[in-house]
Amino acid sequence: MHKIVISLLVMFIISAGVNAQTEGPAPMKPEMTEIWDPEVTVVTPGATPVNAPSDAIVLFDGVNLENEWTDSKGGVPGWKVENGCATVVKGTGTIKTKRVFQDFQLHIEWRTPEEIVGESQGRGNSGVFLQERYEVQILDSYNNRTYRNGQAGSLYKQHAPLVNASKKPGEWQVYDIIYTAPRFNKDGTYFTPPVVTVLHNGVLIQNSVKLRGPTEFIGIPEYSIEEHGPGSLVLQDHSNPVSFRNIWIREL
Amino acid sequence: MHKIVISLLVMFIISAGVNAQTEGPAPMKPEMTEIWDPEVTVVTPGATPVNAPSDAIVLFDGVNLENEWTDSKGGVPGWKVENGCATVVKGTGTIKTKRVFQDFQLHIEWRTPEEIVGESQGRGNSGVFLQERYEVQILDSYNNRTYRNGQAGSLYKQHAPLVNASKKPGEWQVYDIIYTAPRFNKDGTYFTPPVVTVLHNGVLIQNSVKLRGPTEFIGIPEYSIEEHGPGSLVLQDHSNPVSFRNIWIREL
Amino acid sequence: MHKIVISLLVMFIISAGVNAQTEGPAPMKPEMTEIWDPEVTVVTPGATPVNAPSDAIVLFDGVNLENEWTDSKGGVPGWKVENGCATVVKGTGTIKTKRVFQDFQLHIEWRTPEEIVGESQGRGNSGVFLQERYEVQILDSYNNRTYRNGQAGSLYKQHAPLVNASKKPGEWQVYDIIYTAPRFNKDGTYFTPPVVTVLHNGVLIQNSVKLRGPTEFIGIPEYSIEEHGPGSLVLQDHSNPVSFRNIWIREL
Amino acid sequence: MHKIVISLLVMFIISAGVNAQTEGPAPMKPEMTEIWDPEVTVVTPGATPVNAPSDAIVLFDGVNLENEWTDSKGGVPGWKVENGCATVVKGTGTIKTKRVFQDFQLHIEWRTPEEIVGESQGRGNSGVFLQERYEVQILDSYNNRTYRNGQAGSLYKQHAPLVNASKKPGEWQVYDIIYTAPRFNKDGTYFTPPVVTVLHNGVLIQNSVKLRGPTEFIGIPEYSIEEHGPGSLVLQDHSNPVSFRNIWIREL
């Protein structure tokens, strides 16, 4: 017993110290790389991945739009809420969330009209603006050629989607968006740019792409960067009756 | 007519040129930032986001495991396939894909046993190894305290999940994993590290985290980096009868 | 004339608009990518690259150490100032700048004793701590083997230098350091880690490396990350009479 | 003795194992984070930071231009070599290195004519093209207003310098450039963009900026990205007699 203890101890002393120089780092133990605290916060997930988890803010439940949204002037949204979805009413303008957000995970479902009207940018056009300025394009891109950096799932005029995972017009589609807001330098330029990941109907179409600046219809995004804090989500009225449902967000 | 044409032309020449210095960049036109080619590849998404899209490789359809997987020695997997899922048979060892992958999007569903046996790392333990070396932990983390960087959804011993989005034992759970393989310097170190995003039951739990090196049970990951190419997916036999179903992957 | 003008105008209209779809982005003009404002701030550089430019804060000019530095308790530094340099006096402890810094460019010159005493970490040991916690190692690494992640120019125990560009003991050496401070998440972890570039005697030895956490003599840096703001520069008293001169810093 | 050994051993067992849960990671030893191998390569630095270190390739020593450079067609450069420097001869065209480079540290000294001729882009204009396509602008920017993203030290039409650290015309100036070449995706887009750091006369003017694409006089750099391998350094003939000396490069 005595001898065993001593030899164990000697083995330990040798292994932990002296011969590190010749044989690489001294051996560690599994416990040395365990981290126990703080305990990770528990969240109850939805029944399926499209259902809101317990820590999400439900922005639209299919019934009430006024709770979380206003029109662009702060008034009641002019969009139609019916049959569990909200639909753009042409000319009533964009709608925006009352709350503002920084980094987040967003789930949003949308549908372009079953009846095909128009072409290219004129068919089923709407958009989700992150922090009021960075647009994830919504468009009927099912058999509807347009410029690649302006089709459904593009970060408008900055990044075309990796693939076109569009469903047919009239079918519900899903965007799951992971967004990291920009941080700024003292001079108002980006210290880190906005970063966006998008899954379209479960298919990865934007993989941590960095935005060059706010979305611009005309011109170069880099030239219009200005410091900003948290911002609303904005849904676009682009004159087409696009519908929305099951919108939830988790602040990160 | 003549005069109008000339004055229009003069206006254009002036606006495009001379006064850029005092008024910022010259005006552009919307078309200048449209990109039309190449056309984005069309993918047919699954019926719901958990269903395989048309460009996915189905690695396990609930019936046949041998098509795409072997045991660790290249033989037929010893795991049990029954009732639409494959279940770890203790002692038969890990299974690995015949194909190797670099960057990918992976969907995988798993279930820990309804009957609770063991605690901490001893309950419902398995794991998905990306490129054979980077483990996304699988564990019954429902009311089962363990070290935070070793619970379900952790990048084992490197990154704890942002939240614990576990379902109860016996319920099916989902990982959607976006993986960017490392690139290497000439000396075998990372030029860019592996980057991993994970959604657990639809909840973001790893947000583009960078791995420090291969998963290590003992020691410091940085110290074991070695250059490697594409690698198999590996599912771990950690002696607990964890089940799997609906596994598909899209190469990026 | 008339016809020419019209045809020119028609050409312009066509080129700017209609046929973008088939021929890629419409042509731009050079002025459209010029940015004139704001004018870039003028800085007068030093006579040579080692001399302080006009916007630098001179932290030590070879004569007065008290202006910009204190000992670790806020008192007058106990180090010896003589012959245009400041030298560690063993046992008087570290010295630190009165000012605190965030992102910066630092120039610092140092010299280990000409007479060789000790070996490995015991010879000519000192260090520059960025923001009080991130050490760029100073050591006599000329023919003095030690662990690679602890030699001169290492980010101590995190990143070995790319090459060993040491001069002989007794000769003046130069570090030019570009440092970007970490930004933090709400939970106190890094949003972006500290990033460090070091030129040693004009040779690049650290190329935008990311720190894993504060410098640790024992243990894993990741485990000791805590939120912090701007911090002092600290020069280490490691019992060896290392000397310093020509220290200047530019805030970025 | 016997008792001491046993109690030491018991203490060790306790500290290494059981109570990790309540007290954080088990204690490590300093040796566990030392890395000894491989030994870092020794480089002899120049006498001062502007002098070539032992592992540099000297691209121009003031005497012989033909050894390392050709004109744009592979012939002998038409530039004038005199008084230890090479000077642009208008109309002879750019010169390029025979060798090609990937990632590197570059030191280059240049001088615009003492006699001031022209203004804005017309005064002392030349440029260093990294990998034949990414221009660091050379210009007499001493009291010479031009667009900010086109002045000396700009990454032409992409990034203005942080400050204007220009010396007077007729004085020698220094660029120290750290360059990381882009890596590419399979589709020819950037996996990681080119990254550039520049010190101008010892002053940091570009801090790890990411390029958006090749340098473009007209148009948007993103639109002209094409996969490429290592490339030559190119010095521009922009009709002004700019001079060069002491050019050396270290491959990283």
- D125-182: pLDDT as tens digits: 999 999 999 999 999 999 999 999 999 999 999 999 999 999 999 999 999 999 999 9
Those residues of chain C whose CB sits closer than 8 Å to some CB in chain B are 2, 5-6, 8-9, 12, 16-17, 20-22, 24-29, 31-37, 212, 220, 222
Q: What would the pLDDT profile of D87-109 be if each residue is shown by its tens digit?
A: 999 999 999 999 999 999 999 99
Check whether residue D28 and residue D62 sit in a common domain: no
Contacts of D226 (CB under 8 A, 6+ apart): D188, D214
Q: Which residues, including other chains, have CB under 8 Å from residue D109's CB and lie 6 or more apart?
A: D50, D172, D173, D174, D175, D244, D245, D246, D247
Yes or no: say if B249 and B59 are a contact pair by the CB < 8 Å rule.
yes
Instruction: Pick the residue of B186, B187, B210 with the most D CBs within 10 A to test the interface with D by mutation.
Output: B186
Q: What pLDDT was estimated at residue D25?
A: 58
Q: What was the pLDDT predicted at D27?
A: 87
In A, which residues are within 8 Å of B165 by CB distance?
43-45, 53
**Dist. CA C104–CA C57, nearest whole Å:** 11
Q: Which amino acid is at A118?
A: G
* Whether B193 and B93 share a structural domain: yes
Residues D101 and D112: their CA atoms lie apart, in Å, by 26
Classified as helix, coil or strand, A107 is strand
* Arithmetic mean of pLDDT over chain B: 92
Number of domains in chain C: 2
Overall average pLDDT of the B153-176 stretch: 98
Clarify whether residues D117 and D13 are in a common domain.
no
pLDDT (0 to 100) of residue D3: 43
Asked if residue B232 lies in contact with residue B96, where contact means CB atoms within 8 angstroms, the answer is yes
- Given this model, what pLDDT does residue D16 score? 39
Residue A186 with chain D: CB contacts under 8 Å: none
Give the tens place of pLDDT for each residue, A57-86. Answer: 999 999 999 999 999 999 999 999 999 999
With cut-offs at 50, 70 and 90, classify the pLDDT of residue D70. Answer: very high
Does residue D21 surpass a pLDDT of 80?
no
Using the predicted structure, report yes or no on whether residue D18 has a pLDDT greater than 60. no
Of C36, C217, C220, the CB nearest to D148: C36
Give the torsion through C-alpha atoms of D67, D72, D78, D82, to 10 deg.
-50
Looking at the fold, whether C16 and C136 belong to one and the same domain comes out as no
B228 backbone φψ class: left, alpha, beta (φ>0; ψ -120 to 50): beta
How far apart are alpha carbons C250 and C112 in whole angstroms?
25
Assess if residue D208 is contained within a domain.
Answer: yes
Q: Evaluate the omega torsion of the peptide bond into residue C221 and state whether it is cis, within 30 degrees of 0.
A: no
Secondary structure (3-state) at A13: helix
C145 contact residues in D (CB cutoff 8 A): 39
Q: Taking CB atoms and an 8 Å cutoff, what residues of chain B touch C36? A: 20-22, 24
Find the closest chain D residue to C49 by CA distance: D202
- Phi, psi (degrees; rounded to nearest 5) at C73: -100, 5
* B121 and B192 together in one domain: yes
User: C96 and C76 in contact (C-beta within 8 Å)?
Assistant: no
What's this model's pTM, rounded to 2 decimal places?
0.91
Q: What pLDDT does residue C27 have?
A: 87
Tens of pLDDT, residues C125-157 = 999 999 999 999 999 999 999 999 999 999 999
Q: State whether A38 and B148 contact (CB < 8 Å).
A: yes
Name the amino acid, one letter, at A131: Q
Which residues of chain B make contact with D192, given a CB cutoff of 8 A?
Answer: 183, 191-192
Would C147 be classed as within a structural domain?
yes
**Is B85 a domain residue?**
yes
Tell me the average pLDDT of chain A: 92
What pLDDT score does B25 carry? Answer: 59
Residue B244 confidence (pLDDT) above 80: yes
Residue C5 pLDDT > 90: no
Q: Is residue B207 part of a domain?
A: yes
Mean pLDDT of C195-201: 98
The verdict on B231 and B177 lying in the same domain is: yes
Q: Are residues B190 and B72 in the same domain?
A: yes
Q: Which of D229, D226, D230, D228 is nearest to D189 (CA)?
A: D226
Q: Is the pLDDT of residue B111 over 90?
A: yes
What pLDDT, in 10s, does the model give residues A94-137?
A: 999 999 999 999 999 999 999 999 999 999 999 999 999 999 99
Mean pLDDT computed over D111-138: 98
Q: Domain range spanning residue C25?
A: 2-33
B42 assigned to some structural domain: no
Beta-sheet strands, E only, within A38-124: 57-60, 69-71, 80-82, 85-87, 95-97, 104-111
pLDDT score recorded for residue A27:
87
3-state secondary structure B132-191: CCEEEEECCCCCCCCCHHHCCCCECCCECCCCECCCCCCCCEEEEEEEECCEECCCCCEE
DSSP structure class, residue C7: H
In a 10 Å sphere around its CB, with 0-12 CB exposed, 13-18 middle and 19+ buried, how is residue A90 labelled? exposed
Nearest 5 degrees, angle CA D221-CA D222-CA D225? 90
* Neighboring chains of C (3 or more beta-carbon pairs < 8 A): A, B, D
D interface mutation test: which of C29, C33, C162 has the most D CBs within 10 A? C33
Report the CATH number that the domain containing residue B213 is assigned in CATH. 2.60.120.560
Q: State the nearest Cα–Cα gap between A48 and chain B, in angstroms.
A: 7
Asked if the model's pLDDT at residue B19 lies above 50, the reply is: no
CA angle C129, C131, C137 (to 5 degrees): 15
For C220, the closest chain B residue by CA position comes to B220
pLDDT at D9 over 70: no
One domain for residues A99 and A174: yes
Above 80 in pLDDT, residue C89? Answer: yes
Closest-CA distance, D80 to chain B, in angstroms, reads 35
Tell if the CB–CB gap between C223 and A191 is shorter than 8 Å. no
The set of chains that have 3 or more CB pairs under 8 A with D is A, B, C
Q: How far apart are CA B66 and CA D118, in angstroms?
A: 75
- Please state whether beta strands D243-251 and D57-60 pair in parallel, antiparallel, or not at all (unpaired): antiparallel
CA distance C173 to chain A (A): 28
Q: Of the candidates A32, A183, A220, which has its C-beta nearest C183's C-beta?
A: A183
Confidence of residue A24 (pLDDT cuts 50, 70, 90): low
**Same-domain pairing of C113 and C22:** no
Same domain, A80 and A13: no
The answer to whether A126 and A237 have CB atoms below 8 angstroms apart is yes
Query: Which residues, at least 6 apart from C178, have a Cβ–Cβ distance to it below 8 Å?
Result: C104, C105, C196, C197, C198, D197, D204, D207
Do A13 and A100 sit in the same domain of this protein?
no
Minimum-distance CB partner of A26 among D16, D31, D222: D31
**Would residue C124 count as lying in a domain?**
yes
**Is B163 in contact with B203 (CB distance < 8 Å)?**
yes
Would residue D40 count as lying in a domain? Answer: no
Alpha helices, DSSP H, located in A17-115: 20-23
What is the per-residue pLDDT across D43-64, written as a single tens digit (0 to 9) for each?
999 999 999 999 999 999 999 9
Q: Does residue A149 contact residue A162 with C-beta atoms inside 8 Å?
A: no
Note the Cα C112 to chain centre separation in Å. Answer: 20
> For residue A5, what pLDDT is reported?
39
In a mutagenesis test of the C interface, which of D163, D173, D195, D215 is the best target, namely the one with the most C β-carbons within 10 Å?
A: D163
Mean pLDDT, residues B109-124 taken together: 97
D132 with D234, same domain: the answer is yes
For residue D45, tell me if it sits in a domain. no
* B17 C-beta neighbours (distance < 10 Å), count: 12
Among C21, C28, C37, select the one facing B36 at the smallest CB separation.
C21
Pick D170 or C16 by higher pLDDT.
D170
* The pLDDT of residue B116: 96
